[in-house]
């Protein structure tokens, strides 16, 4: 009897999970399908789901119009670069806040988060002027710097919460054995926090990959990442849905594949030791 | 060995100096068909000017506007040529942000530019931007449906005729709607259409002292007329329809009439995209007998930001892209129907173009009928038919557009929408210092 109930529940849970999963995934699927339609089919109503003349002309068009590889490399450099630099800064600072907090630690954390509360456009002009004066406009370096700064509060917060769960006694033991501060962080803390660091890393790469405001505004021709590539295919007057979908598919594919691959690692990392 | 090194060194030095001489122009532009076509044809320019290389930054219109405005206001210098609309040109020229285009060459023939378009780009007698393509608005209608209903569309219809015809054609059971008009909120969306239409009803945004006029009867007439017409003969959910949504409805045969940009004519008559391609007729935007038609005027133009280091090359490019020879180049490669419209008188005199583009005459008449310096029946202190060329208009237009879109959706009454439009415009204009 008990088994029957659990099977039923399993079915219900599975159906619910699949429904939610498909609902969430549907926009991406729709974008993917639209990218293989002609412009006329893309706006047709009622739309056809699978039964249309599949065509790759949008991909040809996008390839011939834009330098996809340049935008792709810019996105890779900017998102990976900013996340790695962010981690290098954030690990020591999260360590400090988690293991040797002071009276003001909570306030400092809140203050860091508060920098995310201001709308970005409010500081666009001063940032633009600073970038202009330092020659950083339309450079990958400039974008790495700005994305590092933008995502730093999130990285520190995430790492801080992960580090908080690691018992301080282990670090104390390492210190008793004569580990220096840097060794303590590199050889003791970091390996234990790998799952946390890995998920922080992935989340921030995705955030940086998708960041559209600063990457669009501070780049022009040379450093423009995939966000600018997508923005060049939308239009208020004209048919563009199919081409835009093709461009979007090409822009999200790399990060989607990365997500799929690292998902296994992440889940294993996150659940590792959970049964002990 | 030594000789080889020497030769290699010389070769690379020559190559480097060659690179150093080539000047790169960075051009910011919008994503629309004519601009994309130009990008594909630039080989013609670079082969004639081997010392100039081109780099394109193509963006969606609103992203581009934000992007180039930031750059020019901070003198960022990221772009050597910017694509801007007729809304920006007078504002930016007054700010001293643009260079006058005095040296476009002897054979450029400035006088060939359409007078209505040219006047919107000329400030204090100087041309500050060169038009790449221009457009107005007009009525596109289904000849077959008009015939079926026993109606004949005049070349210059009145709003009463349009409304009457729209109600007659409407057959909601068969998803056929007499008229499709913009309803989506935005200064370049519903307010472009409504501001231009309000001109035909005798309304205006501001009086001579910059006092907002939404509390006047003309605006109430215009908005009331629009909301009632759309409720009776418009498609469901019209308050979220912009250009693209209406284009899609018209192309799939769901609209009897559509009043929008002249550029749409080439889309709805293209048999590859449109199911009604051979059934479309054109007419001037309607009036109400007050002497103004609700047809707007817009052009995408190329301009050089002040402080540019590469003025000579930029002028060469602009002269190429907006010159007469470019029209011929497009015609040779892609046919006359694909030539960028609405900039030159000579194009409309060309019999080959008239043959290839059935909408040519109506486009020209619509552009000529627009008068951006005297857009309304009553005098106004501003320039612009479907916009008011002041920096505050983007924000104001969108805020007012939201009220009107809500009125169309039935979320508020026409009176309430006008009252709140009046209030918010008064507040902003006082804050900006126009109303003392």
This prediction's pTM: 0.85
Q: Is A233 an 8 Å CB contact of chain B?
A: yes
pLDDT tens string B262-320 = 888 888 888 887 889 999 999 999 999 998 988 899 999 999 999 889 999 999 999 99
What would the pLDDT profile of B32-68 be if each residue is shown by its tens digit?
Answer: 888 888 998 999 999 999 999 999 999 888 889 889 9
A33-54 pLDDT, tens digit per residue, is: 999 998 878 877 677 777 888 8
Closest chain A residue by Cα to residue B68: A217
Q: pLDDT-derived band of residue A268, with 50, 70 and 90 as boundaries?
A: low
What is the average pLDDT across A2-16?
A: 82
Tell me if chain B has a CB within 8 Å of the CB of A44: yes
Which residues does residue B301 pair with via DSSP β-bridges, in sequence order? Answer: B84, B131
Chain-chain contact of A220 with B36 (C-beta, under 8 angstroms): no
Cross-strand partners of B81:
B27
| B430 CB neighbour count, 10 Å cutoff | 13
| Number of Cα atoms under 13 Å in the Cβ half of residue A11 | 5
Is this complex scored with an ipTM above 0.90?
Answer: no
Distance, in angstroms, between B193 CA and closest chain A CA? 14
Q: DSSP labels for B14-55?
A: HHHHHHHHSEEEEEEEE-SHHHHHHHHTTHHHHHH-TTEEEE
**Average pLDDT of the segment spanning B319-330:** 94
Q: Domain ranges in chain A?
A: 66-232
Looking at every residue in chain B, the average pLDDT score rounds to 90
Beta bridge partners of B206: B212
Asked if A238's CB is within 8 angstroms of B26's CB, the reply is no
Which range is least confidently modeled, A128-137, A145-154, B214-223, B366-375? B366-375
For the segment B216-245, the average pLDDT, to the nearest whole number, is 94
Specify the CATH class of A66-232 in words: mainly alpha
Domains and CATH numbers, chain B: 22-135+297-356 (3.40.190.10), 136-296+387-431 (3.40.190.10)
Say whether A236 and B71 touch across the interface (CB within 8 A): no
CA dihedral B412, B414, B418, B424 (to 10 degrees): 10
Percent of chain B with pLDDT over 70: 95
Give kind and range of the element (H or E) at residue B307.
Answer: none
| Residue A51, phi-psi category: left (phi > 0), alpha (psi -120 to 50), beta (remainder) | beta
Q: Please report how many Cα atoms fall inside a 13 Å half-sphere around the Cα of residue A149, on the Cβ side.
A: 9
Of the partner residues B36, B244, B252, the one whose CB lies closest to the CB of residue A44: B252
Cβ B359 vs Cβ B282: under 8 Å: yes
Residue of B295, B159, B154, B175 whose CA lies nearest to B234? B175
Distance (Å, whole) CA B150 – CA B140: 17
Does residue A161 register a pLDDT over 90?
no
Tens-place pLDDT, residues B328-349: 999 999 888 889 999 999 999 9
* pLDDT at residue A2 greater than cutoff 60: no
Per-residue confidence (pLDDT) for residue A275, from 0 to 100: 45
Q: Which of A45, A65, A235 sits opposite B32 (nearest CB)?
A: A235
| B295 CA: distance to closest CA in chain A (Å) | 17
Distance separating alpha carbons of residues B52 and A184, to the nearest angstrom: 58
Three-state SS for B122?
Answer: strand
> How sure is the predictor about A3, in pLDDT bands with cuts at 50, 70 and 90?
low
Decide the pairing of beta strands B23-30 and B297-303.
Answer: unpaired
């Amino acid at each position: 009897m008990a088994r029957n109930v659990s099977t039923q529940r399993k079915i219900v849970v599975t159906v619910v999970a699949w429904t939610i999963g498909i609902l969430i995934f549907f926009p991406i699927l729709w974008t993917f399908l639209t990218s293989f339609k002609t412009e006329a089919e893309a706006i047709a109503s009622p739309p056809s789901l699978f039964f249309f003349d599949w065509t790759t002309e949008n991909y040809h068009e996008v390839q011939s119009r834009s330098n996809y590889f340049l935008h792709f490399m810019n996105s890779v450099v900017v998102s990976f670069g900013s996340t790695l630099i962010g981690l290098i800064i954030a690990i020591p600072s999260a360590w400090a806040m988690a293991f040797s907090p002071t009276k003001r630690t909570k306030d400092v954390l809140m203050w860091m988060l508060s920098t995310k509360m201001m709308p970005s456009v409010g500081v666009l002009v001063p940032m633009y002027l600073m970038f202009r004066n330092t020659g950083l406009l339309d450079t990958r370096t400039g974008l790495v710097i700005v994305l590092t700064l933008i995502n730093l509060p999130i990285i520190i917060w995430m790492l801080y919460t992960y580090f908080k769960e690691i018992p301080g006694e282990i670090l104390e033991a390492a210190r008793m054995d004569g580990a220096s501060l840097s060794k303590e962080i590199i050889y003791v803390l970091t390996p234990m926090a790998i799952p946390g660091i890995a998920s922080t890393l992935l989340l921030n790469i995705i955030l940086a990959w998708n960041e559209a405001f600063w990457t669009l505004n501070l780049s022009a021709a040379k450093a423009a990442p995939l966000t600018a590539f997508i923005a060049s295919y939308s239009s208020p007057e004209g048919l563009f849905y199919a081409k835009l979908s093709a461009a979007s598919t090409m822009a999200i594919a790399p990060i989607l594949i990365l997500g799929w691959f690292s998902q296994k690692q992440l889940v294993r990392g996150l659940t590792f030791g959970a049964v002990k | 060995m030594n000789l080889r090194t020497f030769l290699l060194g010389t070769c690379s030095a020559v190559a480097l100096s060659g690179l150093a001489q080539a000047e790169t122009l960075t051009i910011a532009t919008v994503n629309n068909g004519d601009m994309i076509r130009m990008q594909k044809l630039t080989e013609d320019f670079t082969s004639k000017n081997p010392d100039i290389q081109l780099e394109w930054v193509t963006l969606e219109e609103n992203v581009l506007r934000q992007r180039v405005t930031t750059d020019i206001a901070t003198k960022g210098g990221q772009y050597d040529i910017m694509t801007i609309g007729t809304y920006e040109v007078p504002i930016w020229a007054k700010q001293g942000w643009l260079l006058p285009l005095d040296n476009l060459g002897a054979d450029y023939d400035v006088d060939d530019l359409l007078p209505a378009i040219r006047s919107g780009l000329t400030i204090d007698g100087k041309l500050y931007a060169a038009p790449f393509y221009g457009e107005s608005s007009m009525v596109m209608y289904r000849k077959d449906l008009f015939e079926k209903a026993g109606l004949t569309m005049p070349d210059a219809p009145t709003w009463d005729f349009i409304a009457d015809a729209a109600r007659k054609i409407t057959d909601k059971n068969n998803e056929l709607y007499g008229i499709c008009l913009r309803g989506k909120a935005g200064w370049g969306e519903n307010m472009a259409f409504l501001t231009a239409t309000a001109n035909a009803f005798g309304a205006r945004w501001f009086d001579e002292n910059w006092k907002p006029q939404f509390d006047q009867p003309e605006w109430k007439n215009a908005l009331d007329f629009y909301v009632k017409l759309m409720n009776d003969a418009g498609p469901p959910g019209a308050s979220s329809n912009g250009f693209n949504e209406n284009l899609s409805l018209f192309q799939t045969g769901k609209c009897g009439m559509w009043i929008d940009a002249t550029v749409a004519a080439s889309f709805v008559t293209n048999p590859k995209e449109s199911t009604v391609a051979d059934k479309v007729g054109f007419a001037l935007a309607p009036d109400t007998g007050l002497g103004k038609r609700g047809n707007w005027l817009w052009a995408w133009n190329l301009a050089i930001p002040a402080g540019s280091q590469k003025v000579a090359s930029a002028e060469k490019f602009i002269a190429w892209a907006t010159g007469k020879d470019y029209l011929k180049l497009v015609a040779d490669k892609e046919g006359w129907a694909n030539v960028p419209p609405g900039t030159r008188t000579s194009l409309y005199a060309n019999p080959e173009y008239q043959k290839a583009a059935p909408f040519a005459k109506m486009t020209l008449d619509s552009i000529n009928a627009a008068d951006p310096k005297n857009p309304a029946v009553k005098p106004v202190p501003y320039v612009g038919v479907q916009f008011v060329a002041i920096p505050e208009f983007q924000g104001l237009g969108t805020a007012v557009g939201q009220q009107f879109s809500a009125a169309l959706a039935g979320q508020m009454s026409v009176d309430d929408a006008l009252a709140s439009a009046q209030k918010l415009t008064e507040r902003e204009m006082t804050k900006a210092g126009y109303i003392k």
